[in-house]
A and B are shown apart, each in its own frame.
Chain A
Amino acid sequence: MQVCNKSEVENIKLSVYFEKNVLSPLRFVNKTLTSRLTLSVNLHLQPETMSIHTKNWGLSEADFNVLQAELVRGGESCFQKVFTQNYKRYANYIRSEMKLSYDDASDVTVEAFVKIHRFLKEGRVAYGNLDAYSMQVIRNEYLMLLRKRKQMPDADVEVNERELIDEAYDESTLQQFEQAFDRLGEDCRTLLQRHYYQKMSHRDIGVALNISEDASKTRTKVCRNKLRELFLQLLNAA
């Protein structure tokens, strides 16, 4: 299956290779030619290769790397194609296996893909058996749905699925924290987002905002203190 169109793939490959400075342009051309040869060979896939692709949303390992690289760069088109090409199969599976309604099966599948998107972006998913991995996430989402509807006690959630559930804080705490964050000024919100979410270093933030590295550190500290103050106010008011 071709996940992204050829130009998208080549653009991403180009930028990834050159950004990382891994290959010289000559080696890049050589490697691209080789990959094109591999592509044409893949048209006559061997049974073992076929099964590997089938287990991995129809992707080759190179396709998977392209998909992951695109997600890290904020692109969505490859992931959307994977989703639209696999959605029906997973939704039908969960619907028939767990006797879910059409809407519930759709919700569970979408939620699972939201999680998969995040895990892919964070590099927590490896190529190998993406199909089995997706089924696991979908089953986990199904358990979450049951939990939300109080049809199953917490203890029934298998231990190995707990890391996927990832719910350390209750909803009201998270909402209060979001409120506190929203009350910060635009500058603070941007600064915290860059540092704690986009993982930008203070040096890079300094360059982006035209301030020194130390100034970025100081401002971050001020914003963190302000956030703490606002959050504690909200917690204590509740």
Chain B
Amino acid sequence: MIDKYKKGILSEQEMDQTEEKLLKKMFDRKADEEVRQNLRFQLEVLNTSSETSEDTSTLTPDADAPGSALRVVHRNKWMTWAAAASVLLVLGAAWWFFGRSTVEDLAAEALAANYLKTEVAPSLSNVMDDSQVTATEQAARDAYLQGDFVKAARGFAGIPPATAAQFFYLGIAYLKQAKPNYSSAVNGLLQARKLGNGWQEDAINWHLALAYLGQKRNTEAQQELENIISVGRDNVAKAQLLLEKMK
């Protein structure tokens, strides 16, 4: 059909029908993608919630043997930590010898990561009456304020999030961790944007741009950066610098 369309041998009505089918298919794909991201985010929240109940030891029922006793799994992680420390030591030494790069020397992705590491996280705003904050959310907010973003992310994910603010701080917490979880951060921030009707717009735009850069999704990052520049409020200079680096 497309070959005939291309060659122009379809009737006007058939051309119209082909385009309408393509339009429907295209819009369906866009909508599907949004739903897909949403469902994946729900899965992450599900997984994170189940992780929240675990600590240094985990009680796991043996699924294959109904009624069998629970077993305790201890995690001995000191060897992993020791290995990680050695690697860091070697990397630190190499960095010392080969010279430190300035902000201007960094590529866009590295610069974005640098911003994430050095900038202060957006402050918690009181978007709700304190009496409405549940104990779980309060714990997440406390962790966020203390800079424990892993705990904060788990906390916000475990509520589970439903408001723009909860999604926003969840997204930021995912981003501000030592090892950022970019895809979850993007999902959280997109939800915050969707629900917030302009609330924290500048911060959402900026952190989405950084998250996209972290994922090497340059087209989306560029759109967010251009948006920041066109809005013309916060982070304009940094957005311009990142855009230049991306060229």
Stretch binding the partner chain, chosen from B14-22, B86-94, B99-107, B116-124 = B14-22
A193 to B31, CA, bound (A): 12
B42 within 8 A of partner (CB): yes
- A8 to chain B minimum Cβ distance, whole angstroms, is 11
Report B-chain residues with C-beta under 8 Å of the C-beta of A115. 32
**Residue ID in chain A nearest B28 by CB atoms:** A118
A23 within 8 A of partner (CB): no
Stretch binding the partner chain, chosen from A26-34, A130-138, A156-164, A171-179 = A171-179
The answer to whether A196 touches B28, judged by C-beta atoms less than 8 angstroms apart, is: no
The answer to whether A106 touches B23, judged by C-beta atoms less than 8 angstroms apart, is: no
Q: How many residue pairs bridge A and B at CB < 8 Å?
A: 72
Stretch binding the partner chain, chosen from A12-20, A57-65, A76-84 = A76-84
A76 to B36, CA, bound (A): 12
**Residue ID in chain A nearest B63 by CB atoms:** A92
The answer to whether B43 touches A80, judged by C-beta atoms less than 8 angstroms apart, is: no
Contact with B along A214-231 (1 / 0, CB 8 A): 000000000010011001
- B129 to chain A minimum Cβ distance, whole angstroms, is 18
The answer to whether A118 touches B31, judged by C-beta atoms less than 8 angstroms apart, is: yes
B27 contacts which of A83, A168, A173, A193 (Cβ < 8 Å)? A193
Residue with the greatest number of chain B CB neighbours at <10 A, chosen from A80, A87, A118: A80
Residue with the greatest number of chain A CB neighbours at <10 A, chosen from B2, B20, B22: B22
- B188 to chain A minimum Cβ distance, whole angstroms, is 15
The answer to whether B35 touches A87, judged by C-beta atoms less than 8 angstroms apart, is: no
The answer to whether B35 touches A117, judged by C-beta atoms less than 8 angstroms apart, is: yes
Contacts A118-B32, A235-B6, A236-B6 given; indicate if A113 touches B39 (C-beta within 8 A): yes
A76 to B161, CA, bound (A): 13
Contacts A80-B38, A178-B26 given; indicate if A168 touches B31 (C-beta within 8 A): no
Complex interface residues of chain B between 27 and 54 (CB less than 8 A to chain A): 27-29, 31-32, 35-36, 38-40, 42-43, 46
**Residue ID in chain B nearest A172 by CB atoms:** B2
The answer to whether A228 touches B19, judged by C-beta atoms less than 8 angstroms apart, is: yes
Report A-chain residues with C-beta under 8 Å of the C-beta of B27. 193, 196-197
The answer to whether A168 touches B25, judged by C-beta atoms less than 8 angstroms apart, is: yes
A224 contacts which of B5, B19, B46 (Cβ < 8 Å)? B19
Report B-chain residues with C-beta under 8 Å of the C-beta of A87. 43, 46
A80 to B6, CA, bound (A): 41
Q: How large is the interface on A (under 10, 10 to 19, 20 to 34, 35 or more residues)?
A: 20 to 34
**Residue ID in chain A nearest B3 by CB atoms:** A235
A228 to B26, CA, bound (A): 14
B217 within 8 A of partner (CB): no
The answer to whether B25 touches A110, judged by C-beta atoms less than 8 angstroms apart, is: no
The answer to whether B2 touches A114, judged by C-beta atoms less than 8 angstroms apart, is: no
B24 within 8 A of partner (CB): yes
The answer to whether A110 touches B36, judged by C-beta atoms less than 8 angstroms apart, is: yes
The answer to whether B24 touches A197, judged by C-beta atoms less than 8 angstroms apart, is: yes
- B196 to chain A minimum Cβ distance, whole angstroms, is 16
Contacts A173-B2, A174-B29, A235-B6 given; indicate if A196 touches B23 (C-beta within 8 A): yes
Report B-chain residues with C-beta under 8 Å of the C-beta of A110. 36, 39-40, 43
A3 within 8 A of partner (CB): no
Report B-chain residues with C-beta under 8 Å of the C-beta of A236. 6
Report A-chain residues with C-beta under 8 Å of the C-beta of B25. 168-169, 174, 177
A165 within 8 A of partner (CB): no
- B185 to chain A minimum Cβ distance, whole angstroms, is 19
- A70 to chain B minimum Cβ distance, whole angstroms, is 14
A181 within 8 A of partner (CB): yes
- B102 to chain A minimum Cβ distance, whole angstroms, is 37
- B12 to chain A minimum Cβ distance, whole angstroms, is 10
A232 within 8 A of partner (CB): yes
A83 to B45, CA, bound (A): 12
16 more A-B residue pairs beyond the given contacts A227-B19, A231-B19, with a C-beta to C-beta distance below 8 A? A80-B42, A110-B36, A110-B40, A113-B35, A114-B36, A115-B32, A117-B32, A168-B25, A169-B21, A173-B2, A192-B23, A193-B27, A196-B23, A196-B24, A224-B19, A235-B6
The 8 closest A-B pairs by CB, nearest first: A197-B27, A196-B23, A177-B22, A235-B6, A117-B35, A114-B32, A114-B35, A110-B39
Contact sample, A vs B, 24 pairs, CB 8 Å cutoff:
A76-B35, A76-B38, A80-B42, A84-B42, A84-B46, A106-B43, A110-B39, A117-B32, A118-B32, A118-B35, A174-B22, A174-B29, A177-B25, A177-B26, A178-B26, A181-B23, A181-B26, A196-B20, A196-B23, A197-B27, A224-B19, A227-B19, A228-B19, A235-B2
